[in-house]
Amino acid sequence: AALLDQRDQLLERLGGFSSLTTSFAADGTVAVSLGSNPPRSFVQGGTAGTLTSATAADGTLSFAVDGQAMTPGSGSLEGASLALTELASLRQRLDTVAAGIADTVNNAQAAGVALDGTQGQPIFAGTTAGTLRVVMTGGAGLATAPAGAAAGSRDDSNLNALRQSLTALDPAQQLNGVLFDVSSKVAGRAENDEVERINGDYARYHGVSPPACVDARRHHVFDCSKPSPSLLRPPPGGHW
Reported as a single tens digit per residue, the pLDDT across 136-166 is 999 999 999 999 999 999 999 999 999 999 9
Please name the residues in contact with 186: beta carbons below 8 A apart, sequence gap of 6 or more.
none
Lowest mean pLDDT across 9-23, 58-72, 79-93, 177-191: 177-191
Kindly tell me if the per-residue pLDDT of 220 is higher than 60. Answer: no
Q: What is the pTM of this model?
A: 0.65
Higher pLDDT, residue 75 or 203: 75
- Residue 206's pLDDT is 53
Residue pLDDT, tens place only, 173-217: 999 998 888 888 777 665 555 555 665 555 555 555 444 444 444
Kindly report each contact of residues 217-223 with a partner whose C-beta sits within 8 Å and lies 24 or more positions away, as own/partner.
217/191
8-state DSSP, 139: G
Average pLDDT, the chain: 82
- Smallest CA-to-CA distance from 121 within 107, 133, 132, 110 is with 110
Pairing of strands 112-113, 220-221: unpaired
- Residue 182's pLDDT is 83
Q: Residue 84 and residue 182: Cα distance in Å, rounded? A: 13
Helix, coil or strand: residue 119: strand
Residue pLDDT, tens place only, 21-50: 888 888 888 899 999 889 999 999 888 999
- Residue 55's pLDDT is 93
**Cα three-residue angle 76-55-75, rounded to 5 degrees:** 10
In 142-218, at which residue ranges do the beta strands (DSSP E only) sit? 145-146, 214-215
- Residue 170's pLDDT is 95
Q: Residue 113 and residue 120: Cα distance in Å, rounded? A: 5
